[in-house]
Amino acid sequence: MEFCEKCGGIILIQGDKAACASCGHKPKKKVKLEASEKIIQRDTIAVIKEDQSNTYPIVQIKCPKCGNNSAYFWTTQTRASDESETKFYKCLKCKHTWRVYR
Ligand SMILES: [Zn+2]
Ligand SMILES: [Zn+2]
């Protein structure tokens, strides 16, 4: 939510145009910049979600399913602090995913 720098009213955004609902003040530059930043952030998140495994490092480990010797590797920390982290592997060949508890 954007607020008018002159009167503190709510800035209404329609497309790439923005104007204060109370006094009609137009903070054009600022709103435009923030709008483009939001689009970039949203795109970045979407890319990570869609193709997350490509960002993981590849390690040499034997896949228990197909015997391939390379897999993506990542870890997760469980919410409970007394529990150790879990290691995840995803086979490059058959996409089989398995985990290893420490
Ligand atoms: Zn205003
Ligand atoms: Zn495999």
pLDDT for the residue 39: 55
Ligand 1 centre to CA of 34 (Å) is 18
Q: Note the pTM of the prediction, 2 decimals.
A: 0.44
Beta bridge partners of 12: 19
pLDDT for the residue 44: 55
Ligand 2 centre to CA of 53 (Å) is 15
Distance CA 89, CA 71 (A): 6
Instruction: Please give the chain's pLDDT, 102 residues, in tens.
Output: 888 989 999 999 888 788 999 999 988 665 455 555 555 555 554 444 445 556 789 999 999 999 999 999 998 866 666 667 789 999 999 999 999 876
Q: Token pair for residue 25?
A: 């003040």
Helix (H) or strand (E) holding 86: strand 86-91
Please give the backbone phi and psi of residue 32, each rounded to the nearest 5 degrees, phi first.
-60, -45
Residues sharing a CB contact under 8 Å with residue 2, sequence separation 6 or more, in sequence order? 10, 11, 13, 18, 27, 30, 31, 34
pLDDT for the residue 2: 85
- The residues placing their C-beta within 5 Å of ligand 1, an ion, are 4, 6-7, 9, 20, 22-23, 25
Ligand 1 centre to CA of 67 (Å) is 66
Ligand 1 centre to CA of 38 (Å) is 23
